[in-house]
Amino acid sequence: MAEEGHFRVVEALQAFYKSPQVNKIVSRTGVAACVPYGRRKLTSEDHMKQLIEGIKKFRTDVFPAHSGLFNRLASGQTPQALFITCADSRIVPDLITQTSPGDLFICRTVGNLVPPYGQGDGGVACAIEYAVTALNVSNVIICGHSDCGAMKALLHPEATENLPQTRSWLRYGEAAREVVRGTGLATSDGEQLSALVEENVVTQLEHLKTHPAVAARLARRNLQLFGLVYSIHTGEITSYDFSLQRFVPVDGKLASATPRPRIVPARKEVA
């Protein structure tokens, strides 16, 4: 999605990691990672210092180097995709898709849950409506991830005993959990979690289609849906193939989760 002249978030991160205060290590994926202030556990003060350094670095190095992009973005946005993913701190949408500021309209919810239309938090419905109708995005992507705490909590409801808001929110994932339990194919905890992460993406795609803005664009055949699962420990991303009804590796192209369009009969002329 990035155009010429756009900078990639990974470059910005790497620029930050090159600062002398940071001990740099390079992961096997080639993406720079860092252990600021040595390997000791960071204090709250360290975290704030890190944040301030990042802000300074952005203003002095990154922003001037890409001022053209930011000038273009200053007066408006034309993102190509609505990207719905989990609030988990380990998921950085622009990093894992190598996109730039302005490319993705991002909506983050715990467990990448999307309440069906007319239910739940209005903020998610608002983000969907605005992206699909006002910004006219071409694609909507729902991205789940490995080791998702929300999915673990769905499998172990006792973990949310003292978290009433979380317990209430997670009900939007209960259908996915029951599908996984109902098949009985996943037996171990790990297998159940992996199966639920995938099934939850499929369930949330179904919820997405209940939103009028999405339903209308799908009927007009000018909106594409995608369901992704990101693996934190390998960096791999799989995508849901609607025709195969399963997740497949991303290989050259992204499998589409767009349902086959229903044929809407042409309106009859009234004499």
> Is the separation of the CB atoms in 149 and 88 below 8 Å?
yes
Among the residue ranges 22-30, 46-54, 88-96, 253-261, the one whose residues contact Zn ion (CB under 5 A): 88-96
Least CB distance to Zn ion at residue 230 (A): 10
Residues 145-184 that bind Zn ion (CB under 5 A): 148, 150
Is residue 88 at the binding interface for Zn ion, with CB under 5 A as the rule?
yes
DSSP assignments along 110-167, one per residue: GGG--PPTTSS-HHHHHHHHIIIIIS--SEEEEEEETT-HHHHHHH-GGGGTT-HHHH
Nearer to Zn ion, 86 or 193 (CB): 86
Nearer to Zn ion, 88 or 199 (CB): 88
CB-facing half-sphere around the CA of 22: CA atoms within 13 A: 21
CB-facing half-sphere around the CA of 5: CA atoms within 13 A: 8
CB-facing half-sphere around the CA of 185: CA atoms within 13 A: 8
Residues 67-86 that bind Zn ion (CB under 5 A): 86
CB count within 10 Å of CB 36 equals: 19
Give CA–CA dist 106/214, Å, rounded: 16
- Total chain residues near Zn ion (CB under 5 A): 4
**Bridge partners, residue 26, by sequence:** 32
Least CB distance to Zn ion at residue 193 (A): 11
Using CB under 5 A as the criterion, what x/- string covers residues 129-148 for binding Zn ion? -------------------x
Is residue 94 at the binding interface for Zn ion, with CB under 5 A as the rule?
no
Least CB distance to Zn ion at residue 145 (A): 6
Nearer to Zn ion, 102 or 144 (CB): 144
Least CB distance to Zn ion at residue 38 (A): 29
* Site of interaction with Zn ion (CB under 5 A): 86, 88, 148, 150
